[in-house]
Structure 1
């Protein structure tokens, strides 16, 4: 099992952050184009627990895969959790936390994931999967700064 953590602060209100991040359609906006990410169904309503969202992605060699996630938990303006039901990972559990701070919002992501193919999956993790996930989160960070501005406040 692997864990990816990310923290980003943005100079926006908790309401603005929640409105953007809890809209499943916005995931396409903050996902890098090299993933070939497309929402197929389930993103037409505001996020709710039990929501099933179907995507297609091209994670490796341009091969299209189906990815189905369920929004398993939602606590408005505080956190939500998406979990893979079918897709490229053996296990995917992604927690999104929001916290109001002076001058903005702190967003924390914690992704716990496991790769398929046992030993082979673990072998490619440091070479392909981890760098790709880092690249995806770096892209998201830059895109959110582009959309909302850079946080300049003090986190104390």
Structure 2
């Protein structure tokens, strides 16, 4: 059994409250997801995030094939972190931690994604050339989109 991890970090020139307000609203996930993914919330995204919230989506991760995806928000510690876990969908395991930390002049966001693919040897064979590549592409899009929305974080010199 192989569990993969992906970690990303991004600094934004906004307060931790602004970051929390944006990321805790499920509707904003569509804004920071590439259009070709065909991402649509079909249920459960009509309230700000809370532990136990079930959110249903349709996504088209590969070749435009519609896939149903159901996640649960399992942990919420406002405004510092939350966790979403896949309940039904394309992965055998999807555990996504979102952390927010105040820094001088902004907020540092950290995503830690642990995931496992189905189909044993076949899943492992397609991991790097297909799945990992796609996940890195999605997070790169997200990073770029957040820069467009909030602007670039500038390190302050001492």
Q: Which bracket does the TM-score occupy, shorter chain normalised?
A: over 0.9
**Could you tell me how far apart the structure 2 residues matched to 1:18 and 1:9 are?**
13
List aligned pairs for 1:39-118, cutoff 5 A. 39-118=41-120
Mapped contact 1:101–1:155 kept (Cα < 8 A): no
Question: 2:137 matched to 1:135?
Answer: yes
User: Match for residue 33 of structure 2?
Assistant: 31
How many angstroms does 1:155 deviate by? 9.2
- Write the deviation string for residues 68-123 of structure 1: whole angstroms up to 9, x where unpaired: 00000000010000000000101000000000000000000000000010100000
Q: Name 2:146's counterpart in structure 1.
A: 144
State the secondary structure of the residue aligned to 2:115. strand
SS in 1 for 2:27: helix
Aligned position for 2:122 = 120
CA distance in 2 between counterparts of 1:119 and 1:23 reads 37
**C-alpha distance in 1, partners of 2:156/2:75?**
30
1:37 CA drift (Å):
0.7
Number of aligned residues: 156
For structure 1, which runs of at least 5 residues remain unmatched after alignment?
A: none
TM-score by length of 2: 0.97
